[in-house]
Amino acid sequence: MDIYSTYTDKKTKKLTPIINLGAPYNSSKDDFGYIVDKSNRKGYFSSNRPGGLGNDDIYAWTN
């Protein structure tokens, strides 16, 4: 599984093209549950990538 992103353009009210977020959000394992705050500057996602503490771990990111 990979994480993808799109949003509604404020002017046209249409969805922007869907993009694969790539690394570091996506890995060769299952990456999912992506969420961002209103400022698009921080968020979380889940993954079962190596190095975690359990089967599916929650990772935080900031921009």
Tens digits of residue pLDDT in 2-53: 999 999 999 999 999 999 999 999 999 999 999 999 998 999 999 999 999 9
Distance CA 59, CA 49 (A): 10
Q: Pull the structure tokens for residue 1.
A: 């599984």
Range(s) of the domain holding residue 14: 4-62
**Which is nearest to 20 in space by CA: 36, 4, 43, 40?**
4
pTM of the model: 0.81
Total domains present in the chain: 1
Confidence of residue 62 (pLDDT cuts 50, 70, 90): very high
Q: Count Cα atoms within 13 angstroms, Cβ side, for 13.
A: 0
pLDDT at residue 27, rounded to an integer = 96
Distance CA 10, CA 23 (A): 27
pLDDT at residue 22, rounded to an integer = 96
Q: Is the pLDDT of residue 63 over 90?
A: no
Distance CA 5, CA 40 (A): 12
Q: Pull the structure tokens for residue 42.
A: 């921080």
